[in-house]
Amino acid sequence: MVSTSDFKNGMAIEVEGTIFTIVEFQHVKPGKGGAFVRTKLKNIETGAVIDRTFRGEKFRRVRVENKKMLYLYATPDEVVLMDNSSYEQLSLTPALAGDSLIFVKENVDVEVTFVDGKPAEIVPPMFVELEVTETEPGVKGDTASGGGNKPATLETGAVVPVPLFVKIGDVLKIDTRTGQYVERV
């Protein structure tokens, strides 16, 4: 059991039968009345973030483990990953993967978060390098300092806004957290 005074960012707890991770928390001690803890909690299953206030309660601490796994392939019915150490394959539902794999090619390492031994979240690498497969042609005068963006389709099928000078065949560095173009490689 863990009390509100032991809270840490990223800690997983069970609140009313649902597992949450603590996104942020703040201990508040008003001039009148008892102290309390104001938190932002992220639901492990749905990803929804809620605000909750607690006054000295105790919660069951949930075991969270991160494991590097190799993303093998995805079908409409499953996402298949392989444990890098034991070579065991793990099949997950596409709903669990969500949009986290939109920038990830096959045979790339991802991090899988397990909560109480069950897979809960797939975290892609922070940056990936992907080739542009489709975009509007550049126009003479388009430069790095020239303003404006255009859409570009990457080899995984993701569409991102890129500067006007990017052309088909360019390899781009993409930030998977924001889905933004970083630089041309």
Mind listing the pLDDT tens digit for each residue in 141-168? 555 555 678 899 999 999 999 988 888 9
What is the mean predicted confidence (pLDDT) over 49-72? Answer: 89
Structural domains of the chain in order of their starting residue, each with its CATH number: 2-61 (2.30.30.30), 64-123 (2.40.50.140), 128-184 (2.40.50.140)
Tell me what percent of the residues of the chain surpass a pLDDT of 90: 36
What is the average per-residue pLDDT within 133-137? 88
Mean pLDDT of the chain: 87
Pair of tokens at residue 58:
């105790």
Q: Residue 64: pLDDT band by 50, 70, 90 thresholds?
A: confident
pLDDT digits (tens, 9 = 90+) for 84-97: 889 999 998 887 77
Q: Quick one: average pLDDT of 35-46?
A: 86
* Choice between 47 and 109, residue whose per-residue pLDDT is larger: 109
